[in-house]
Structure 1
Amino acid sequence: EQQGLYNKLQGKGQEKIEKETPKIEKVLPEIYVEKLGFWDRVGILNILLMPISLLYWLSISIKDLFNRRQISSVNEVPVIVVGNVSAGGNGKTPLVSQIAKDLRTVGYRPTIVLRGYKGNFNGTVELNDDSDAKHVGDEAIFHYNRGFPVVVDRDRARAVSYAQRNINTDIVISDDGLQHHGLRRDFEIIVEDSKRDFGNGLFIPAGPLRDKKERINKTDLFLYSGRNKDNVDFFELEPASWVNIKTGDEFEIEDYPFGTSANLISGIAKPERFLNSVSNLGIACEHKFFPDHHYFSENDIKFDFKRAILMTEKDAVRMDKKLIQKNMWFLKMKVKLNVNITKLITDKLNERKL
């Protein structure tokens, strides 16, 4: 149906139970209403931080004054940049993976580059089967597990250069890098969470903005993550399947390979949304939430009742191999778009004969 399963999973048409989300709680399937975060309101502390935010805005303005968008020459592989104006989780990583998949479907050979956030590597690293999240970052492993060549480097421009010289690729997609002025770009996509919608509109650290909102008027495509009230371009994340972390076996959502009660762990930007998705599938969970990009310990996966342990795909790549159990599963998501990004990209590249 047009509304999309993901919105249904967010609890539309159901009674929402508003309550504080403790770190651990035994619950029956129910919906959690997201509370306003620090960057979603303007309080005393936000106001006190505004002088620092002003300095942040000033630095951005100076960079904008002296930097102009660079594009690829006919001898260079074209570059697609997917980024965001505000900090925080917005579904950008699965969107990048979907764009790469769609481009590969029409004949391109995409490579994904990113900074390797939280990774402890040095220089430029091309991922291989021995790469792990602690070395190159969880987002890089996410893309590599989806079957794409991946290069990490703090300097995204250098990563692009490496990909062109060393990988059989004809298009590069940068996961993040909107503010990386040294990175050339031939098509630029900005993503924003439809629920937050730029939060309180203030710059870091008083608010979530790391670039000016007007930037969306200069980009090739602005997308909301999640359906929005104005019905402009957006994408949704929908549950696709359950994947066993130990064996790799994949099951349909409706199969419930572990039953209808489970334990849940998550260390992502908005873990409540993952819990809502699982709860709306009729699964009762005892859950533990952790900070974004958290690496799980043995104590983290201990629960009062021994049941299946559920997590997101990004959580799964941060699970130490020694801790993986036969009844651990991640919920694989798929991206549903209301705009043909592939056509927009290929049309623009064809115009420039890239």
Structure 2
Amino acid sequence: MIERIWSGQSKLYWLLLPLSWLYGFVSQMLRFSYQQGWKKSWRAPVPVVIVGNLTAGGNGKTPVVIWLVEQLQQRGLRVGVVSRGYGGKAESYPLLLNDATTTAQAGDEPVLIFQRTGAPVAVSPVRSDAVKALLNASPLDLIVTDDGLQHYALQRDFEIVVVDGVRRFGNGHWLPAGPMRERASRLRSVDAVIVNGDGQGQHDEIGMRLQPGFAVNLVSGEKRQPDALENVVAMAGIGHPPRFFATLKQLGISPVKAIPFADHQAYDPAQLGALTSTGQTLLMTEKDAVKCRSFAQENWWYLPVDAQIGEADSASLLQRLVVLANKRVTSAIKSS
């Protein structure tokens, strides 16, 4: 129902407009208060790069973070990642992730980023505390924040917004009448706009696609071509599950069932074990897999995806970030 409202297919959004206007007023006043210096923000001693959204729901932000970190690492930069840690509850914050950190503690996306990139990752509701924890633990050249575009208490040097190329901005209204956290006009003030899927190419937008890899068995680690899996039951607990199911269709997979879950939802063995019967295969996203690897069954597989950006756009974006990191390092040396 919420998808129909946000896309403009349902007129029920009219009932939510008063709350939407209130949300917009509060969010705009909050940003304005930081711009005017009425509320204090903290500036890190190294460059901070925000990868965020203007809308609620899955846009492909986390694959972009992983791609960005890996690309910057390949260029010799020491990169750390901070996150709010949605879906997790740590005993104390900030929390520095290690190999034993669970998704129940840190949330699914930080654990996924940590496992995929090997970069230092810290989570905290106060992102500046997470940045400080990373810098106290090891020397870094640059910090990437997973989400946090609207977290103005942390100053940033570079803002990247990820947009869903199919859904774009829906009906254009603020939450809850629409999907918007901020108005689309905010794009004029960011440094880069990455569009996931169809619809890229407008203005200076950077086109990006999510490329699926081999399906991976959660128990054995075996890899197979996705279309080699038989009697697939698909599940996805991400911001926009239809995207995952559409990817399977493009790969020639017609699931017996396609089961959406809420984003960041916690799973238990009985819940997922009941989804399949004898001879069926459970296929999930990598984000789901990090939450249930410890109790996985032999017929459970996940499908990893990688962000792919054109060579020219990729080189230009990454060069800007390398220059930014080197400039801050040079300035710090001169001032010391």
**Partner SS state of residue 76, structure 2:** coil
Task: After TM superposition, give the deviation of residue 64 of structure 1 in Å.
Answer: 2.5
Distance in 2 (CA, whole Å) between partners of 1:171 and 1:132 is 25
Task: After TM superposition, give the deviation of residue 320 of structure 1 in Å.
Answer: 5.7
Conserved in 2, the CA contact under 8 Å of 1:83 and 1:189?
A: yes
Conserved in 1, the CA contact under 8 Å of 2:164 and 2:196?
A: yes
Partner of residue 158 from structure 1, selected from 129, 137, 156: 129
Give the residue type in structure 2 aligned to 1:330: Y
Q: Does 1:294 align with 2:265?
A: yes
- C-alpha RMSD over aligned residues: 2.3
Identity of aligned residues (%): 33
Q: Does 1:61 align with 2:34?
A: no
Pick closer, same or farther for the CA change 1:132–1:71 going to 2, 3 Å. Answer: closer
What is the aligned partner in structure 2 of residue 16 from structure 1?
none
Please, what TM-score do these two structures have when normalized by structure 1? 0.82
Q: Does 1:92 align with 2:55?
A: no
What is the aligned partner in structure 2 of residue 109 from structure 1?
78
Task: After TM superposition, give the deviation of residue 327 of structure 1 in Å.
Answer: 2.6
Conserved in 1, the CA contact under 8 Å of 2:218 and 2:300?
A: yes
Task: After TM superposition, give the deviation of residue 253 of structure 1 in Å.
Answer: 5.1
Q: Which moved more, 1:111-120 or 1:283-292?
A: 283-292
Give the residue type in structure 1 aligned to 2:151: H
Q: Which moved more, 1:215-224 or 1:44-53?
A: 44-53
Distance in 2 (CA, whole Å) between partners of 1:284 and 1:265 is 13
What is the aligned partner in structure 2 of residue 311 from structure 1?
284
What is the aligned partner in structure 2 of residue 131 from structure 1?
101
Distance in 2 (CA, whole Å) between partners of 1:230 and 1:162 is 39
Distance in 2 (CA, whole Å) between partners of 1:125 and 1:272 is 32
Q: Which moved more, 1:153-162 or 1:259-268?
A: 259-268
Distance in 1 (CA, whole Å) between partners of 2:101 and 2:307 is 26
Counterparts in 2 of 1:205-224, with a 5 A limit? Answer: 205-224=176-195
Give the residue type in structure 2 aligned to 1:175: D
Distance in 1 (CA, whole Å) between partners of 2:131 and 2:286 is 26
Conserved in 2, the CA contact under 8 Å of 1:120 and 1:135?
A: yes
Give the residue type in structure 1 aligned to 2:237: G
**Partner SS state of residue 235, structure 1:** strand
Conserved in 1, the CA contact under 8 Å of 2:231 and 2:279?
A: no
Task: After TM superposition, give the deviation of residue 213 of structure 1 in Å.
Answer: 1.7
Give the residue type in structure 2 aligned to 1:292: D
CA deviation string 1:33-78 (max 9, x = no partner): xx953211164431121111111111122123221397957xx121
What is the aligned partner in structure 2 of residue 237 from structure 1?
210
Q: Does 1:144 align with 2:114?
A: yes
Mind listing any 5+ residue stretches in structure 1 that lack a counterpart?
A: 1-19, 21-34
Pick closer, same or farther for the CA change 1:234–1:161 going to 2, 3 Å. Answer: same
In terms of fraction of residues, the more helix-rich structure is: 2
What is the aligned partner in structure 2 of residue 328 from structure 1?
300
What is the aligned partner in structure 2 of residue 45 from structure 1?
12
Conserved in 2, the CA contact under 8 Å of 1:260 and 1:284?
A: no
**Partner SS state of residue 255, structure 2:** strand
Partner of residue 278 from structure 1, selected from 224, 237, 248: 248
Distance in 2 (CA, whole Å) between partners of 1:94 and 1:207 is 24
Task: After TM superposition, give the deviation of residue 151 of structure 1 in Å.
Answer: 0.3
What is the aligned partner in structure 2 of residue 14 from structure 1?
none
**Partner SS state of residue 183, structure 1:** coil
Distance in 2 (CA, whole Å) between partners of 1:57 and 1:214 is 13
Which structure would you say has the larger RCO, counting Cα contacts within 8 Å and 6 or more residues apart? 1
Q: Which moved more, 1:195-204 or 1:273-282?
A: 273-282
Task: After TM superposition, give the deviation of residue 152 of structure 1 in Å.
Answer: 0.4
Pick closer, same or farther for the CA change 1:344–1:60 going to 2, 3 Å. Answer: same
Distance in 1 (CA, whole Å) between partners of 2:148 and 2:306 is 23
**Partner SS state of residue 62, structure 2:** helix
CA deviation string 1:166-187 (max 9, x = no partner): 1232211000011111112111
Q: Which moved more, 1:235-244 or 1:259-268?
A: 259-268
Conserved in 2, the CA contact under 8 Å of 1:71 and 1:186?
A: no
What is the aligned partner in structure 2 of residue 346 from structure 1?
322
**How many residues are aligned here?**
315
Conserved in 2, the CA contact under 8 Å of 1:294 and 1:318?
A: no
What is the aligned partner in structure 1 of residue 87 from structure 2?
118
Conserved in 2, the CA contact under 8 Å of 1:81 and 1:178?
A: yes
Task: After TM superposition, give the deviation of residue 273 of structure 1 in Å.
Answer: 2.1
Task: After TM superposition, give the deviation of residue 280 of structure 1 in Å.
Answer: 2.7
**Partner SS state of residue 129, structure 1:** coil
Mind listing any 5+ residue stretches in structure 2 that lack a counterpart?
A: 332-336
Task: After TM superposition, give the deviation of residue 79 of structure 1 in Å.
Answer: 1.0
**Partner SS state of residue 317, structure 1:** helix
Task: After TM superposition, give the deviation of residue 325 of structure 1 in Å.
Answer: 1.3
Task: After TM superposition, give the deviation of residue 102 of structure 1 in Å.
Answer: 0.1
